[in-house]
């Protein structure tokens, strides 16, 4: 698995990690064992960055991730979680972060994000929480998710000493606006983008016909699937990592293999230009 630097931290993380958005609450033991096997298999393949959030399955995702990572030395895995910004009071935010750590069975997050901006909660309050968690050693790095460039800049301005190292955004071959419009900002400042939903919620089934044909031709050239090419397109962009989710072992293996695909500049441009037409 290829590694890349997180922001300018010196921290090396895999270009492809594992998402857990699909883990639901109230399911059978077999359902959760299936997810745990998939996540464990992904870790063995080098996808040691696991992304979760208190919102996923009402905390169930964090609990399952915690049971998986408990089998490994702490420095073998990189765990990201996210604060659901519906906690209005500062004390509620702090308690929510501590509950997430409790469900994960961890003393600290590797990275902790604000899940999305809430217009009814001052960004300054969110940033105060992140900075305090850093100071207390309860997270190693901080960032945001679903923030526009303008909101990202405002959030950074609210921090006294710390820096945001990550913005997690929905990016895939069928939804490229953050790359086309804003990638230069993030690359200029060395900020890592984490692309969630790298295959879209429908597995690329709703792509434009021209873009689909281009993906199929590129996939044939690389003896790969269009899904692997879609993931490869993301991680061939400087400063972008991704977190595909899968509970199927064969899909986990296919995702990991996508890290080995190097697309030419011509192939990268074909995908982008087909989207823009």
Domain count, the chain: 1
For residue 257, is it within any domain?
no
What tokens does 103 get?
């469900």
Please tell me the pTM assigned to this model.
0.96
Residue 277 pLDDT: 61
Mean pLDDT (the chain) is 96
Mean pLDDT to the nearest integer, 110-121: 96
* Position 29 confidence tier, pLDDT thresholds 50, 70, 90: very high
CA distance 265 to 19: 28
Mean pLDDT to the nearest integer, 228-238: 98
* Position 275 confidence tier, pLDDT thresholds 50, 70, 90: confident
For residue 271, is it within any domain?
no
What tokens does 178 get?
């953050």
For residue 253, is it within any domain?
no
Instruction: Determine whether 175 is exposed, middle or buried from the number of CB atoms within 10 Å of its CB (0-12, 13-18, 19+).
Output: middle
For residue 151, is it within any domain?
yes
Q: For residue 196, what are the contacts with CB-CB under 8 A and spacing of at least 6?
A: 19, 21, 51, 145, 168, 169, 170, 171, 242, 243
Cα–Cα distances (Å) from 207 to 37, 222, 227, 276, in that order, read 31, 20, 12, 12
pLDDT in tens, 161-202: 999 999 999 999 999 999 999 999 999 999 999 999 999 877
At residue 40, the 3 state secondary structure works out as helix
CATH number for position 57? 3.20.20.100
pLDDT in tens, 62-79: 999 999 999 999 999 999
Known catalytic residue at 56: yes
CA distance 208 to 186: 27
What tokens does 76 get?
């073998």
What tokens does 79 get?
């765990």
Out of 32, 56, 112, 186, the active site residue is 56
Residue 108 pLDDT: 98
Mean pLDDT to the nearest integer, 218-223: 98
Judge whether 111 and 83 are in contact, CB under 8 Å.
Answer: no
The domain in which residue 183 lies consists of 3-201+238-246
For residue 145, is it within any domain?
yes
For residue 226, is it within any domain?
no
């Amino acid at each position: 698995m290829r590694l890349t630097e997180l922001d300018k931290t010196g921290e090396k993380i895999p270009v492809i990690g594992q998402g857990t958005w699909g883990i639901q609450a109230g399911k059978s033991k077999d359902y959760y064992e299936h997810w745990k096997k998939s996540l464990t298999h992904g870790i063995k393949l080098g996808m040691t960055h696991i992304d979760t959030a208190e919102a996923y399955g009402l905390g169930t995702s964090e609990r399952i991730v915690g049971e998986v990572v408990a089998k490994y030395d702490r420095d073998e895995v990189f765990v990201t979680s996210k604060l659901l910004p519906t906690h209005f009071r500062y004390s509620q935010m702090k308690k929510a972060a501590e509950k997430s750590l409790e469900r994960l069975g961890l003393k600290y997050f590797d990275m902790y994000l604000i899940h999305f901006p809430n217009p009814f909660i001052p960004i300054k309050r969110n940033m105060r929480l992140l900075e305090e968690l850093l100071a207390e050693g309860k997270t190693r790095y901080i960032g945001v998710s679903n923030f526009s460039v303008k909101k990202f800049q405002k959030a950074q301005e609210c921090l006294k000493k710390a820096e945001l190292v990550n913005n997690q955004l929905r990016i895939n071959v069928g939804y490229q606006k953050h790359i086309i419009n804003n990638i230069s900002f993030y690359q200029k400042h060395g900020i890592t983008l984490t692309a969630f939903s790298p295959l879209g919620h429908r597995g690329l089934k709703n792509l434009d016909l021209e873009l689909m044909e281009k993906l199929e031709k590129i996939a044939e050239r690389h003896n790969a699937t269009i899904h692997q090419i879609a993931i490869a397109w993301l991680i061939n962009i400087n400063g972008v990592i991704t977190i595909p989710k899968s509970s199927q072992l064969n899909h986990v293996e296919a995702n990991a293999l996508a890290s080995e695909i190097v697309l030419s500049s011509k192939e990268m441009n074909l995908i982008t230009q087909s989207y823009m037409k």
